[in-house]
Structure 1
Amino acid sequence: MATAPKLVAQRTFYKRPLPPSCIAFTSKEGKRLFAKALAEDNLESYFLLAPQMVTQNEPAFCALASLVQILNSFEVDPQRKWKGGWRWYDQDMLDCCRPLTAVETDGLTLPEFACLARCNGLRATVTSPLLDSSGSAAQRAEGIAKFRDDLRAVSKGRGTMALSYSRKTLGQTGDGHFSPVGAFCEEDDMVLILDVARFKYPSYWIPVELAYDSMLPIDKATGQPRGYVVLEVAGAEPGSLNAPLSLTSVTLNKSSWASLHSSLSRLLLSTSKSTPDVSSLLLTLLSHISALPTSPLSARPTASSTLPPLLDTFSLTPLASLVPFALSPDPNAILLHTLFILALLSPRSQLSALVPSSLISSLQTLADQSLEHLPQLREEVDSATRQLGALGECCRSEESNGAACGCAGPPGKQDPIARVE
């Protein structure tokens, strides 16, 4: 008589008990801290974030989940469709600074998190504990005092905060993690962490000094301590459902943008003395960009019926008349490349400093004349300029810290960030 095969042992998890350092949000003590924070008027972050609480989609998506929660709480319009006619941030949309496949494997660093926030219309102020060779008590006290000041500010409604920290310091399993900060109980010096790995731990209160210490362990991917980011809406008003729908997106990530920026810099430097007019400059850049394996600016799938008519109108402008789009098997691709060049050479771009001084005024006049009656395409150029700026700032931040961020080197050099399991 045949016997059934033995079941293969499987290691699975559902929730973990909080360590003694953490006070569960729903416990009696957690509720007492909540009531105190409410009396102190330190719950504005909580009331902003709580309606948008999410669980991370992947073990390494804690940064994406934290940012999605914050973006949707601020009512930032993603300017792209989620499903049907609805525009709403989802974790799968946040691929500006690194491909999602890479994030799924390695997670995000603190500068990359700030880069993603800036790509999506937020101001992001990053603070990391600064360690001198002696690790002095005075320096630690100064860092904690600033941390308390920032906690007090966001808890009273001036922006919100995401924390990048080591779980090990809290006595939890795992290591690198991101979560939003929900509240600050000033009297008891406790901070509320709205953990996005809700399958693992609930939200919890921890002492402010412990939260600060959890940012001190070195992140192997950057060679620097972790830290926190204070986030605010970059514009005067949050996005709205009446905002124009974004038609294009930059397809570069921080590494491919660093490579392209380098090659374009060399190209502009080598042609600065041999480029007699704007047309020659455009054709030189267009040839370089057209040779890339992937277009750096592409149409969103949802723009299939809206973008072509706008590009048809753009094709009649003085600027477009200088490029041979009509001879291309894909005229719209050449016109998109031309819009991307406008973003590259925007006065806000570092590359604009490499444009021959004799051509700057002519180029700007042509751009203004061509986009004057096309406000939506001007918005596309401005959006691409912002994304490129965020990518560049991410690389400069990591390089200035001596981090092997992968901006200048081949992929795969980063140490993986600990997954949340």
Structure 2
Amino acid sequence: MKQTITCLGLLCALLTFAVSGTQNPDLIDWNTPAAAPLQQRIPANADFWQLIPQLTTQKTQTYCGIASAVTVLNTMAFGQAGDPVYFPYVHVTQDSFFTPDVLQYVTPLSVLTRGITMKELGNALQSHGVLVHSLPGDSIDTDQLRNRLRHELTDKEHYLLINYHRPSLNQKGGGHWSVLGAYDVASDRALILDVARYAYPPTWVSLSALHRAINTLDASSGESRGLLIISAPSTTAQNTP
């Protein structure tokens, strides 16, 4: 009887663990009960509401940077490279992103084989006519990151792409790109809108874990991962470093 009770207790613990939806207290997946109050607190002026209709699934497992960039360009309606298959509508795709100007910095083959670095994606986005400010993870601390997110993620003129190290969040994979959608003050978490939608839902991540994940070395570039802050040319005065 004692052994039966012990086994039942273990089973209940495992079921409770499974329902929680995460093995990492730094992460709260979108579809778990713990995420519900955070969802309800997303501010009306958060970037999330503009981004989510345009959130793009990466077409290959190395196209995360391209899918993130396309998501932001379409959200900003900055479609200088609209795919002709949608004409007369202007809609950027992961194929039409590679304009002749972009090809000076990165090609579909290079992205397919090794992904894309902070500098390459920043240059590629600038060639589309938007403003890009690069913020390496090793150049800021957690408090500075928090202040930045509180401001930028409720400013409709700016959008944030995040380059981070998945294993630092106990996720499978290596370096990854996605889009940041919101910051929750009460829980001190940011919402990652993951473009690998076939593998991960949107995820609320603690600021300390987020900083740890962007303050990592990208072996391809030899430089730190971090954030790209994207804005339209008309917002030059607001795009302060």
- Shorter-chain TM band: 0.7 to 0.9
Question: C-alpha separation between the residues in 2 aligned to 1:87 and 1:155?
Answer: 25
1:41-190 equivalences in 2 (<5 Å)? 43-83=45-85, 84-95=87-98, 96=102, 97-130=105-138, 143-157=141-155, 158-190=157-189
Aligned partner of 2:39 among 22, 34, 42: 34
How far 1:81 moved relative to its partner?
4.1
Deviations 1:392-412 (A, max 9, x none): xxxxxxxxxxxxxxxxxxxxx
For the 8 Å contact 2:83–2:93, the answer to whether it is kept is no
Deviations 1:351-389 (A, max 9, x none): xxxxxxxxxxxxxxxxxxxxxxxxxxxxxxxxxxxxxxx
For the 8 Å contact 1:82–1:90, the answer to whether it is kept is no
1:11-410 equivalences in 2 (<5 Å)? 18-20=22-24, 21-38=26-43, 43-83=45-85, 84-95=87-98, 96=102, 97-130=105-138, 143-157=141-155, 158-235=157-234
**Sequence identity of aligned pairs in percent?**
24
How far 1:153 moved relative to its partner?
1.5
1:222–1:187: structure 2 CA closer, same or farther, 3 Å change rule?
Answer: same
Structure 1: which amino acid aligns with 2:117? T
State the superposition RMSD in angstroms: 1.7
Question: C-alpha separation between the residues in 1 aligned to 2:83 and 2:136?
Answer: 35
For the 8 Å contact 2:166–2:176, the answer to whether it is kept is yes
Q: TM-score, normalised by structure 2?
A: 0.80
For the 8 Å contact 2:83–2:96, the answer to whether it is kept is no
1:61–1:81: structure 2 CA closer, same or farther, 3 Å change rule?
Answer: closer
For the 8 Å contact 2:81–2:92, the answer to whether it is kept is no
Aligned partner of residue 93 in structure 1, secondary structure = coil
How far 1:18 moved relative to its partner?
4.7
Question: C-alpha separation between the residues in 2 aligned to 1:54 and 1:195?
Answer: 9
Q: Alignment length, in residue pairs?
A: 207
In structure 2, list runs of 5 or more residues that go unmatched.
1-20, 236-241
Q: State the 4+ residue runs in structure 1 displaced beyond 6 angstroms.
A: none
For the 8 Å contact 1:121–1:235, the answer to whether it is kept is no
Question: C-alpha separation between the residues in 1 aligned to 2:82 and 2:35?
Answer: 39
Structure 2: which amino acid aligns with 1:156? T
Deviations 1:95-136 (A, max 9, x none): 2021111111111001111111111121111111337xxxxx
Deviations 1:116-166 (A, max 9, x none): 1111121111111337xxxxxxxxxx5222211221122212411010000
Question: C-alpha separation between the residues in 2 aligned to 1:22 and 1:210?
Answer: 9
Give the number of the structure whose alpha-carbon radius of gyration is greater. Answer: 1
Aligned partner of residue 90 in structure 1, secondary structure = coil
Aligned partner of residue 183 in structure 2, secondary structure = strand
In structure 1, list runs of 5 or more residues that go unmatched.
1-16, 132-141, 237-421
For the 8 Å contact 2:184–2:190, the answer to whether it is kept is yes
